[in-house]
Amino acid sequence: MIGTRLGSWILESEIGRGGMGTVYRARRAANAVAGSERAAVKILAAELATEVGFQQRFQREIAILQQLDHEVIVAFYESGVEGHQYWYAMEYIDGSSYEEIREERGRLPWQEVLELAWQLAPALKHAHDNGVIHRDIKPSNLLCVRDEADSDGPARVKLTDFGISSLFASPHLTVTGGVIGTPEYLSPEQAAGKPVTKRSDLYSLGIVLYALTTGKTPFEGEPIALLHKHRYGQFDRPSRIVPTIDPEFEEIVCNLLEKDPANRPGDAGVLFRRLDSLRRKLSRMEAIAMLPTQSDATRSVAEGTGHATFVSRAVRAELEAQNRGGPVKQFFNHPFVIVVGFFLCVGTIAWTFWPANPESLFREGARLMASPDPDDWEQAWSRYLDPLETKFPDHAHRDEVYVFKQKLDESRADAKIDPTRRSHRPIAEAQWFYEAALRHRRRGDDAEARRILEALIDAYRDIPSQRRWVSLAEQELDLRPPLRSAPKTARALQETIDRAKKLEDEGKPEAAKAIRRGLKELYRDDKAAMELIGKE
């Protein structure tokens, strides 16, 4: 076959062989229409090309690639039939598969796997939105691409091999109840011979993330045993194998591996938002960690810059800044004013942290506890009353402090906030927004609180780890005022209804119905809202 021309392409070398055919690297013929210079050409095996079923499956693979257009999915170029040879050309990727990388490296850093998942989720969302379920997500179908100009930069991933993909609306070409896919990466519903859904791809993606992070798949064994384990078996959490894995990323992986599809993320878009949120959070933490610290001055000495030089540079910069300011700024930048300000600051700090007596601690704590804002109560306890209890256990105000502590505990219970959670791990995203909504409600801004709670429910309703906060948000919304007194919410509701109508106009009635079902469920106790929803 080497040297054969198919369409615009001349076959150069074989790069892969599978059950349905062979893939060749090819170059564009000299007299062909300009375009990409390289391609991967897949040819249906000769012994299968005469069977109608395999011809249909091959043509279906071509049809699937033709309707997908995403930077993370290999691009389709052209197809044809030469004699009895069925073939198509697609984007050529000069890189290793993640299966090859796993065999070489054992396992990848979880940060690298997070980046891979962050790239893949939108590609799966694109495929699912176009009615395509891949059904065979595994490391060998994920290709690693690196920029030639920056070989040490972050890798890009390409999703390939839609050979056994299914179209939501297409007739099945497989035997009913048959199992198709790779046993190690099959979803429980595939293992049971049940119909696949977009959440089946998410389960397989979860196994990929688990395997790349830990170096092994969650279940191992013979094919029949694997089918049983996918349906009923329990796996070791990734942290038992990789203790350094981020807890939130581990939770995402485990959520993808839920047996019941309903407990997995609702779709790849929901998954992407979780991954993107974690990615941004980690970036913020990394940026904070890189901020200058007190040790920078010490480091400057080690690098040959003495304290005197360090201070002289700072003074010179300050004097230069003085000359650039106006009269008022120059006054406050005057050395005498700066020195006086410095000693005032030192005095204030010293007074603040000077060992307090029991009476002053109680007096300040009682003052804050008299505030209507529960945030002041938290400050009263942490800064004054708790030190009072710890340092002076026999103080004269134990009864009053006991009453204050009960008041604070009741406030925490009402807000459904666990004060110990923050000290053990980063606060959950949904919890952060839930508490923000409560702060707005305490300040009397019910419209803003309601907006945040509704958005929280929309974004995290399908995330098991956030269910507690979604449930609390729903409880808070039960106390919301009627729609007619909340114009912001009315506008948000109308925008959502308009979105459903637009989806219907675009030929996506199921998506529109899902939105309407959700609205009716959310606003079933709100007569004004139900009237607005019912008019559409």
- Residue keyed to tokens 């035997």: 175
Give me the sign of the Cα torsion angle 206, 211, 214, 219: positive
pLDDT greater than 80 at residue 304 = no
Q: Assess contact for 368 and 408: CB atoms under 8 A.
A: no
Q: Assess contact for 91 and 36: CB atoms under 8 A.
A: yes
**Cα–Cα distance between 400 and 270 in angstroms, integer?**
49
- DSSP H helices in 392-506: 398-415, 421-424, 429-442, 446-460, 467-477, 487-505
Other C-beta atoms within 10 Å of 310: how many?
13
Tell me the Cα Rg of the chain. 31
- The predicted pLDDT at position 483 comes to 44
Average pLDDT score over residue span 342-366: 68
> Which of helix, strand or coil describes residue 196?
coil
What's the CA angle centered on 248, arms 245 and 253, to 5 degrees? 80
* pTM beyond cutoff 0.85: no
Where residue 445 falls among pLDDT bands split at 50, 70, 90? confident
The residues facing 13 across adjacent strands are: 25
C-alpha separations of 413 from 233, 368, 406, 468 in Å: 38, 19, 10, 14
- Greatest extent of the chain over all pairs of C-alpha atoms, in Å: 100
- DSSP H helices in 67-133: 98-105, 110-129
Going by C-alpha positions, the residue among 100, 58, 57 that lies closest to residue 81 is: 58
Residue 2: CB partners within 8 Å, gap ≥ 6? Answer: 11, 12, 13, 14, 24
- The predicted pLDDT at position 150 comes to 57
**Cα–Cα distance between 379 and 204 in angstroms, integer?**
47
- The predicted pLDDT at position 496 comes to 81
User: For residue 328, with 0-12 CB atoms within 10 Å meaning exposed, 13-18 middle and 19 or more buried, which class applies?
Assistant: exposed
Considering the chain, what percentage of its residues have pLDDT values greater than 90? 29
Where residue 16 falls among pLDDT bands split at 50, 70, 90? confident
- The larger pLDDT score, comparing residue 504 to residue 306, is at 504
- The predicted pLDDT at position 360 comes to 87
- The predicted pLDDT at position 185 comes to 92
CA atoms within 13 A on the CB side of 375: 8
Chain centre distance of CA 401: 44
**Cα–Cα distance between 111 and 90 in angstroms, integer?**
30
Q: Could you read off the pLDDT of 157-205 as tens digits, one per residue?
A: 999 887 655 544 333 333 333 445 688 999 999 888 888 899 999 999 9
**Cα–Cα distance between 335 and 330 in angstroms, integer?**
10
pLDDT greater than 90 at residue 288 = no
pLDDT greater than 80 at residue 153 = no
The residues facing 145 across adjacent strands are: 156
**Cα–Cα distance between 237 and 252 in angstroms, integer?**
11
Q: Could you read off the pLDDT of 84-100 as tens digits, one per residue?
A: 889 999 999 888 899 99
Residue 378: CB partners within 8 Å, gap ≥ 6? Answer: 408
Instruction: Kindly report which listed range (30-34, 280-284, 290-294, 471-475) carries the lowest average pLDDT score.
Output: 290-294
pLDDT greater than 60 at residue 126 = yes
The set of catalytic residues is: 136
CA atoms within 13 A on the CB side of 73: 23
Question: Which DSSP state fits 71?
Answer: T
Going by C-alpha positions, the residue among 290, 289, 297, 292 that lies closest to residue 313 is: 297
User: For residue 262, with 0-12 CB atoms within 10 Å meaning exposed, 13-18 middle and 19 or more buried, which class applies?
Assistant: exposed
**Cα–Cα distance between 303 and 310 in angstroms, integer?**
12
pLDDT greater than 80 at residue 291 = no
The residues facing 163 across adjacent strands are: none
Q: Assess contact for 208 and 194: CB atoms under 8 A.
A: no
> Which of helix, strand or coil describes residue 249?
helix
> Which of helix, strand or coil describes residue 44?
strand
Chain centre distance of CA 244: 19
